[in-house]
Amino acid sequence: MMSMLSSIAEMFGRTPGKKPDDSAYNEGARTLHESKRGAEGKKERVAAIKAERDLHPSHKWRNRRWASILLVNALFVVSFSWDVQLIEGSLSASRVFGFHMADLNAALQVMLAFKEILINLVIGTATVLLLWWLLGGRTFCSWVCPYHLLSELAEYLHLRLASMKMVRDLPMHRGVRTVLYVIFAGLAFGTGYTVFEAISPVGILSRAMIYGPGLALIWVFVLLAFEVFVSRRAWCRYMCPIGLTYGMVGITSPVHVTYNLEKCLHEGDCRTVCLVPHVLEVTKKGFALREDTDIGADCTRCGMCVDICPTDSLTYDVKGLNKLL
Amino acid sequence: MSDASTHPKKKPVTVRQLRERRRILRSIGAGIGVVGAAMLGFFPVVKHWMDRLRPPGALEENKFLAACIKCGQCVQVCPVEAIHLGDLDEGFGVGVPYIDARKQACDFSCDAVQCVLACPTGALSHDVDVKEQVHMGVARLSRPKACLARQGKGIKGTARGDDFPGLHRYMEVDRWTPIPIKDHPYDLELCDLCERECPIEGAITIQRDNFDLNDLRGTPVVFDKCVGCGMCEMICPVDPPAIVIDIRKRWEDV
């Protein structure tokens, strides 16, 4: 329970805590930590790390994820341009085989600004809420959001430039996102306009793909340029209120990435590829309180850590379905 | 802490503290930048840079901007593709549907206001069931001198030229499918296209200026049945059109 509360606090911007006290470990974790601490344990770990050095990281989940983003967005485009009518609308609201769906953040903006709620919007919101609760909340970000894909490209460029010492990642405080969330909710309620929708890169990109590009793409390019030259993955990491909305949905979701202390060699590759590395604090040596830990609410379930982990310490986990899988 | 109390002198700022301070300032700056960028959307809306003809059933403008979820489902169902979505220069109107009547008006060829049925939020009010209940604006003869009927002129050939892409459903040609206006040439002694193609019964008629049988001249007169769909604005053969829609105007204000 405490770990869930702290994962929520960290999602809202709290900096992860320091290494826990020995007394906080449960019995199994204490034994594992102690065995890793000894000279013997260290030697074993170094040998194991050397042994797996040649292993290439897999791209299994990344490829599946990219396929998912492309497929979902292509379905929107094809439905309109070829008039197939599978998914009508765009990512902000749609009808899938006739069922209403509404983006939770867009729906929230409309409800706050309009202050009247139509039954269709309630149905759409509830459907999407249930869907993303089942699928893991921020799963939306990494498996559907078209901006995420572009942002990954920007991140690649950023890292290339950084390795050439041409740019330097300037980190920011994650609390900005919470502040923006509150500000945009307040603005929608106060002004009666859906202020955030004017700059939502998800809505802009989705509409540009389906209905044709427009000037609004300039804003998306500004964000991407900021991510390439100034701050790595800045929008998704520190700013996007949509991410926070879906993060809240995913707090109690059955789908998550789970961490096994026993297998972990504490190399830290997972934290270097992660969009939200604060959720992987637990993988630092001496941080895990139990043998198995679920990764926190802010995790986008993108699977980059699962792909890169050479020891399978990080794996996908679906509560209640593990026995079936 | 005990250090600080024994040495009341100000400690020098460490590199770490400086870096943290910069990080916070940068975060605040970026946050202000994002909110500021979003707030720019106020200008086009408040200053009315663009007055747009909204699709049938649209709520009062400010309410419409609030209620619209910017999904474009109305765009997708329109059989004549009259509806377009606003761009960045419309501020909070980004992604909000509008109709450019001169290019492609709503001619209600869907019969049952499909865009209203498609709207998931009620921004296009579900109180509207039939086209006669719609209020988009009111047509007005803005350039009476240019009006062909006023001059007693007829029309031969296409209404808007041979490369005009606009569509219209001609009941007498095909009850179910709209066809290009360029494929439907006219041969009329007196131009009465605004009346002839008006989808609302009794909204507009050409009234003869006098009873002289040799003098065909007449004037288009708009009645309170007009819903402002813009069909007359689209079909008007003179350029710029002699008849336009006063956006959002109600019959009571005329």
What is the tens place of the pLDDT at every residue in B176-205? 899 999 999 999 999 999 999 999 999 999
The reply to whether A323 falls in a domain is no
Query: A91 and A209: one domain?
Result: yes
Asked if A204 and B30 come within 8 Å (Cβ–Cβ), the reply is no
Query: A132 and A188: one domain?
Result: yes
User: Is B128 in the A-facing interface, judged by CB distances under 8 Å?
Assistant: no
Q: Which regions of chain A are under pLDDT 50?
A: none
Q: Across the interface, which of A92, A183, A193 has its CB nearest the CB of B71?
A: A92
Based on the structure, what is the number of domains in chain A? 2
The reply to whether A64 falls in a domain is yes
Asked if A197 and B94 come within 8 Å (Cβ–Cβ), the reply is yes
Query: A195 and A116: one domain?
Result: yes
Residue A321: which residues within 8 A CB-CB, separation 6 or more?
A254
Q: What tokens does B10 get?
A: 């100000």
Q: Which of the two residues, A304 and B9, has the higher pLDDT score?
A: A304
User: Is A179 in the B-facing interface, judged by CB distances under 8 Å?
Assistant: yes
Q: Across the interface, which of B65, B70, B121 has its CB nearest the CB of A118?
A: B121
Q: Which amino acid is at A310?
A: P
Q: Are B94 and B41 in contact (CB under 8 A)?
A: yes
Q: What tokens does B116 get?
A: 């209203």
Asked if A90 and B38 come within 8 Å (Cβ–Cβ), the reply is no
Asked if A118 and B30 come within 8 Å (Cβ–Cβ), the reply is no
Least confident window among A21-35, A135-149, B26-40, B50-64: A21-35
**Chain A residues 111-130 with a CB less than 8 Å from chain B:** 113-116, 118, 120-121, 124
Q: What tokens does A206 get?
A: 């989705």
Task: Look at chain A and count its residues.
Answer: 325
Q: Across the interface, which of B35, B37, B40 has its CB nearest the CB of A183?
A: B35
Query: A46 and A89: one domain?
Result: no
The pLDDT of residue B1 is above 60 = no
Query: A112 and A242: one domain?
Result: yes
Among A230, A249, A268, residue at a domain's last position? A249
A120: which chain B residues are within 8 Å (Cβ-Cβ)? 120-122
Asked whether the ipTM of the predicted complex exceeds the cut of 0.90, the reply is: no
Asked if A216 and B87 come within 8 Å (Cβ–Cβ), the reply is yes
Among A188, A222, A249, residue at a domain's last position? A249
Alpha-carbon gap, residue B254 to B243, rounded angstroms = 15
Q: Across the interface, which of A194, A203, A216 has its CB nearest the CB of B92?
A: A194
* Residue A246: Cβ-neighbour burial (10 angstroms; 0-12, 13-18, 19+): buried
A195: which chain B residues are within 8 Å (Cβ-Cβ)? 38-39, 41, 92
Task: Look at chain B and count its residues.
Answer: 254
User: Is A74 in the B-facing interface, judged by CB distances under 8 Å?
Assistant: no
The pLDDT of residue B236 is above 80 = yes
The pLDDT of residue B219 is above 90 = yes
Could you tell me what percentage of chain A is helix, strand and coil, using 3-state DSSP and rounding each to the nearest 5? 60, 10, 35
Query: A80 and A50: one domain?
Result: no
Are β-strands B137-141 and B97-99 bridged in parallel, bridged antiparallel, or unpaired? Answer: unpaired
B121: which chain A residues are within 8 Å (Cβ-Cβ)? 93, 110, 114, 118, 120-121
The pTM score is 0.90
Query: A293 and A235: one domain?
Result: no
B98: which chain A residues are within 8 Å (Cβ-Cβ)? none
List the strands of the sheet with A292-294, edge to edge.
A292-294, A255-260, A314-318
> What's residue A23's pLDDT?
85
Minimal CA separation from B138 to chain A, in Å: 26
- Assign 3-class secondary structure to chain B: CHHHHHCCCCCCCCHHHHHHHHHHHHHHHHHHHHHHHHHCCHHHHHCCCCCCECCCCECCHHHHHHHCCCCCHHHHHCCCCCEEECCHHHHHHCCCEEECCCCCCCCCCCCCCHHHHHCCCCCECCCCCCHHHCCCEEEEECCCCCCCCCCCCCEEECCCCCCCCCEECCCCCCCCCCEEHHHCCEEECCCCHHHHCCCCCCCEEEEECCCCCCCCCEEEEECCCCCCCCHHHHHCCCCCCCEEEEECCCHHHC
Closest CA to B87 of A216, A197, A221, A196: A216
Alpha-carbon gap, residue B79 to B168, rounded angstroms = 10
Asked if A116 and B122 come within 8 Å (Cβ–Cβ), the reply is yes
> What's residue A324's pLDDT?
64
DSSP state of A196: G
Query: A221 and A275: one domain?
Result: no
The pLDDT of residue B10 is above 50 = yes
Query: Which pLDDT tens digit goes with each residue over B67-104?
Result: 999 999 999 999 999 999 999 999 999 999 999 999 99
B85: which chain A residues are within 8 Å (Cβ-Cβ)? 207, 211, 214
Q: Are A127 and A100 in contact (CB under 8 A)?
A: yes
User: Is B240 in the A-facing interface, judged by CB distances under 8 Å?
Assistant: no
Q: Are A115 and A84 in contact (CB under 8 A)?
A: no
A192: which chain B residues are within 8 Å (Cβ-Cβ)? 62-63, 66
Query: A261 and A301: one domain?
Result: yes
User: Is A105 in the B-facing interface, judged by CB distances under 8 Å?
Assistant: no
Query: A72 and A110: one domain?
Result: yes
> In whole angstroms, how far apart are CA B140 and each of A207, B61, B192, B221, B228?
34, 21, 15, 8, 9
Query: A311 and A180: one domain?
Result: no
Closest CA to A17 of A213, A281, A296: A281
The reply to whether A227 falls in a domain is yes
Interface test with A, best of B71, B76, B87, B115 (most A CBs within 10 A): B71
Asked if B87 and A215 come within 8 Å (Cβ–Cβ), the reply is yes
Query: A184 and A299: one domain?
Result: no
User: Is A276 in the B-facing interface, judged by CB distances under 8 Å?
Assistant: no
Among A249, A264, A291, residue at a domain's last position? A249
User: Is A57 in the B-facing interface, judged by CB distances under 8 Å?
Assistant: no
Domain that holds residue A164: 60-249
Q: Which amino acid is at B24?
A: I
Radius of gyration (C-alpha) of chain B in whole angstroms: 27
The reply to whether A324 falls in a domain is no
CA B204 to chain centre: 21
> What's residue B6's pLDDT?
58
Alpha-carbon gap, residue B159 to B196, rounded angstroms = 12
Averaged pLDDT of chain B: 91
